[in-house]
Chains A and B, each alone.
Chain A
Amino acid sequence: MTTSMVDAESLLSIDVGGINTRVALFDVVDGRYRYLGSGSAATTVYAPYFDIGEGIRAALDRLQMATGRVLVGNDERLIIPARDDGSGVDTLVATMSAGPPLNVVVLGLLEQVSLESARRLATTTYARVIETISLNDRRKPEQRIDTLLRLRPDLVLAAGGTDRGASQSVMKLLESIGLASYLLPEEQRPEVLFAGNQALLEDIDASLGKVVRVHYAPNLRPALDAEQLGAAQVRLSDIYRSVRSHKVSGVEELDAWAGGGLLPTAAAFGRVIRFLGEVYDSTKAVMGIDVGASATTIASVFNSELTLSVFPQYGLGQSVARLLEYTSLEAISRWMYQDVPADYLRDYLYQKSAYPASIPVTPEELDIEQALARQVMQMAIRRAASGYPAKSKRYGSSLLPWFEPIVASGSVLTRAPNLGQSMLMLLDGIQPTGVTTIVLDQSHITPALGAAAAINPVLAVQVLETGTLQNLGTVVSLIGKARFGSPVLRARMVYEDGNETPMEVKQGSIVVLPLPAGQSARLHLTPLQRFDVGMGGAGRGGGLRVVGGALGVVVDARGRPLRVPDDPARRRELIHRWRQTLGG
């Protein structure tokens, strides 16, 4: 499709992140939408500014300098729509992840049913579950009220009761929410999202609705064996926007610029991953991973169904010191190729937490930062995978399903000194299976494309097609058991010009076959020792067409799950060797 078929409109995206505010400009060039450039500045949601507008303005200044286009008028206002003289833009989309996660209380009847679904719903945005209330809760009602008053949640996610199922017990649980809210000053009352028994909506409106703002979504568990989160996720995004608008200056104005469509960055990221799944091949699973300062986000699409998991506790910004509540110093340092004392590593976490915008300068601190990225990816994927459909787990529950492609984003990945380091972080952190393409969003535009997809899908498709995302290469991941150093694969790559490169791959190694971006080749794989090379089962080989990327084709024969040696010296030597293989 060319843009002559649609009304060509320029688009400005604004993403207010935990550390940086990024703006990007898209417009039609030679009949197709293209990414023209971006600008970024420090996010100013924090003291002393307390208003996101300052950071947006500074980022826009940089974008104006980079592109030469005037976006802000003499009256200091954004020029929308574009004028005949070429200044301004036609449309604007906005996303946001800055600010502390929403404090959420989840309420449901049964631990493994509605409560579990409500918890899962909470993980689809920047939220932290601070309390749960269920039928199993043995506290007295007044104790629950006191807890709610002490915690002062931003949001209560309430589920429970299948449609036309339990009602009295749900209303009883909601009673403490109503009483606690009544006791709070009006401006501190939580918003409530009810996604339970739909027969209760009128009763809830008549009781709870008098005290707090209640939002409704279809039942998360319409039946005991069915779960539907989709519609509730959309409502949750609306609530996120509403809470942010009340608490952060400048958000309301940004939302107005975006026509009321301000999205949580994670939701926009999820949308573009689902979009990729639909546009390219809906039979394949697609994954997106964003390692950010505010959170680590995993977006997984199976048969066009999006599973979105947002983990603020695994963010690499201000919350990074709290990572030790979820993991250990040893678990982080096992990813490092340098010998850094545990005390130094721990101090690093606290200093980074105190100065979240700061970046590593020494090789040791870069090694720590990249080890942290690997560890948070591992933890996030493990958590996200627990919600994957059983059918997707062709390699068993301990390994990742086969995703093609995998889209990665996040400053820790994009600021690596070379793309080989980005690739190795992703291989270690994600541990993909099968044959997959790994793509890096170096310009941080995936949230923008996700937000744009709703109003201008042609733009999203065309920008994705222009190669704005950096193709790191095709990865072949081998699965099987063999002694370290023993041959596990014979491969032969036949280039377009007829040249061939044969090779033997040994267990525990990474091998790189150069194949420039834009070129394709035929890769013939003959597994040894009954290894699975993604050709339909253990020991099965065959040929496939592969497309080149920045690093060509990468064969990862280190095994899945990846186990590094316990001996620190041996481990560090091995990790160093893998780094060297991918470019140092």
Chain B
Amino acid sequence: MLAQVTHILPITSIRRERLLPVAGRVSVRKGQKVSATDVIAEVSLTPEHMLLDVARGLGLPAREADRNLHCQAGDQVAEGDVLAGPVGFTKRVIRASKNGRVIVAGEGQILLELEGPPLELKAGMPGSIADLVGDRGAIIETNGALIQGVWGNGHIDFGLMHVLAKSPEDELKADQLDVSLRGSVVMGGKCIDPQVLKLGAELPLRGLVLGSLDAPLMPYAAKVRYPVFSTDGIGQQPMNNAAFKLLSTNERREVAINAEMWDRFTGKRPEVIIPLPATGNIGLPRETVDFLPGQKVLVTRAPYAGQLGVLQVIRPGLSLLPNGIKAQAGEIQLENGDNVVVPLVNLEVLV
């Protein structure tokens, strides 16, 4: 049976394709070193437009208005440029009210694309450009620790990580955040106080790595400009032990957080990358695996949600669960030594 995979790895080769949604301008070259926040490509994705009714403005039929046009598709125009006219005794003209580019000119109308801020595609991780992908983006590679999560607020940044959680169950409190943490990435446990997010913005922090974020805090997290990342999702669950151990042992290292939302259709997933030097040939992690005994697994649902274990046996046929449902299941030895039965669909394989 195909298994869901999550990467929580102390050292691995990491390779990510970062692409613009449409063709644009790629601003990096092959072999170039980049940091997580470097812009690697940009495009004017959703420019504003202005439709000028030239015929009406000049008081002429469309065909006659077209004869008075002074621009054509593709022309760059500046604010105040005369686009059509003058006509009549009053020398009526049509001027560009902003800088922009003519998209369509004809049939008595001009469609202008106005200059606006471009969409900037950030590298999302530190590394080197392994390859360029046409005019869409690039492939970035690095070595380091990789921790994939469940939820992110869409922001990207990097900084020195301070570990404030003493255990996976800890709650990050507002009074733990002080000015000494300014410009750093903070690793806490669960977060249930909106004041934490507010203080994080005031300092400001460059990232917040959490075990979980309480659901009512999601709107606050969406508003802050620094990345908020959770390893185990929305709620009040503790951080899974694998992520906690790995993050804790990398205190005071520079970490990059790409807190993009998990999207199964595109493959994007929030993740923390800690660049580390690697010796020898460390391959890319496997993305697809079948369930097999001996695998390290993370349980995703109650009553063992967030607990790690080892898959001992895949039970044949269907197993009866405590609530009466029958499902294909495996026997898991949890870290505390307990042996439990968990449906395979409630497991993620850690590779």
Contacts and interface: CB of A to CB of B under 8 A. Distances in A.
Interface of A: 41-42, 44-50, 54-55, 58, 99-100, 140-142, 145-146, 149-150, 179, 182-183, 185, 188, 318, 321, 343, 346-347, 350-351, 354-355, 357-366, 415-418
A351 B345 CA distance: 13
Interface string B97-131: 00000011000000101000000000000000000
Interface string B215-253: 100000000000000000111110000000000000000
A321 B47 CA distance: 32
Given A50-B267, A351-B300, 16 more contacts: A42-B345, A47-B269, A48-B287, A142-B111, A145-B49, A146-B48, A182-B104, A185-B22, A351-B233, A354-B150, A358-B300, A358-B346, A359-B343, A361-B325, A363-B322, A415-B325
Contact of A46 (B48, B104, B264): B264
A415 B326 CA distance: 7
Contact of A361 (B48, B103, B234, B301): B301
B325 A188 contact: no
B interface residue count range (under 10 / 10 to 19 / 20 to 34 / 35 or more) = 35 or more
B325 A142 contact: no
Q: Is the interface of B mostly helix, strand, loop or mixed?
A: loop
A74 B289 CA distance: 23
A415 B343 CA distance: 13
A105 to B, nearest CB: 15
A359 B345 contact: yes
B108 to A, nearest CB: 12
Contact of B325 (A140, A146, A357, A360): A360
Interface in B304-323: 305, 321-323
A46 B288 contact: no
A356 B178 CA distance: 39
Interface stretch (B1-9, B26-34, B87-95): B1-9
Which 9 A-B pairs have CB atoms at the shortest separation, nearest pair first? A417-B324, A47-B267, A347-B235, A350-B234, A46-B264, A48-B287, A366-B323, A142-B51, A142-B49
Contacts of B300: 351, 354-355, 358
* Most chain B CB neighbours (cut-off 10 Å) among A42, A54, A360: A360
Contacts of A179: 51, 104, 111
A47 B264 contact: yes
Contacts of B151: 354
A366 B323 CA distance: 7
Nearest to B5: A48
Given A142-B50, A350-B215, A357 B4 contact: yes
B104 A47 contact: no
A358 B264 contact: no
A355 B49 CA distance: 41
6 contacts: A346-B235, A350-B234, A351-B234, A351-B301, A357-B4, A361-B323
B281 to A, nearest CB: 22
Contacts of A364: 302
B266 interface: yes
Contact of B346 (A41, A42, A49, A361): A361
B201 interface: no
B322 A362 contact: yes
Nearest to B51: A142
A351 B235 contact: yes
Contacts of A360: 301-302, 323, 325
A361 B342 contact: yes
Given A58-B2, A140-B51, A417-B324, A361 B233 contact: no
Contacts of A183: 49, 103, 113
Given A48-B287, A99-B265, A365-B301, A350 B5 contact: no
Contact of A145 (B23, B51, B305): B51
Nearest to A151: B46
Given A354-B262, A366-B325, A54 B267 contact: no
Given A47-B266, A188-B22, A361 B5 contact: no
A348 to B, nearest CB: 8
A146 B46 CA distance: 7
Contact of B302 (A46, A100, A361, A416): A361
B1 A49 contact: no
B283 interface: no
Nearest to A20: B345
A343 B237 CA distance: 12
B321 A361 contact: yes
B346 A318 contact: no
Nearest to B300: A355
A343 B217 CA distance: 13
A74 B74 CA distance: 56
B46 A149 contact: yes
B303 interface: yes
A358 B345 contact: yes
Given A42-B2, A47-B264, A359 B346 contact: yes
A456 to B, nearest CB: 32
Contacts of B322: 361-363
A357 B347 CA distance: 10
A185 B288 CA distance: 33
Contacts of A150: 46
B82 interface: no
* Most chain B CB neighbours (cut-off 10 Å) among A50, A145, A321, A363: A145
Contacts of A142: 48-51, 111
B328 to A, nearest CB: 10
Given A150-B46, A179-B111, A366-B323, A46 B345 contact: no
A347 to B, nearest CB: 3
B144 to A, nearest CB: 20
A54 B323 contact: no
Interface string B136-174: 000000000000001100000000000000000000000
A336 to B, nearest CB: 13
A521 to B, nearest CB: 30
B327 interface: yes
Contact of A357 (B236, B288, B345): B345
Nearest to B218: A350
A417 B265 contact: no
Contact of A363 (B103, B262, B323): B323
Contact of B324 (A49, A350, A355, A366): A366
A525 B178 CA distance: 75
Nearest to A421: B324
Interface in B1-45: 1-2, 4-5, 22-23
A171 to B, nearest CB: 13
A406 to B, nearest CB: 24
A350 B233 contact: yes
Contact of B323 (A47, A140, A149, A365): A365
B51 to A, nearest CB: 4
A41 to B, nearest CB: 7
Interface string B285-297: 0011000000000
A150 B47 CA distance: 9
A362 B324 CA distance: 9
Contacts of A355: 4, 300-301, 346
B132 to A, nearest CB: 19
A365 B302 contact: yes
Contacts of B215: 343, 346-347, 350
Contacts of B305: 351
A355 B266 CA distance: 16
Nearest to B233: A354
A362 B265 contact: no
Given A357-B4, A361-B343, A363-B323, A185 B236 contact: no
Given A45-B265, A145-B49, A346-B215, A358 B324 contact: no
A140 B48 CA distance: 12
Contacts of B49: 142, 145-146, 149, 183
Contacts of B113: 183
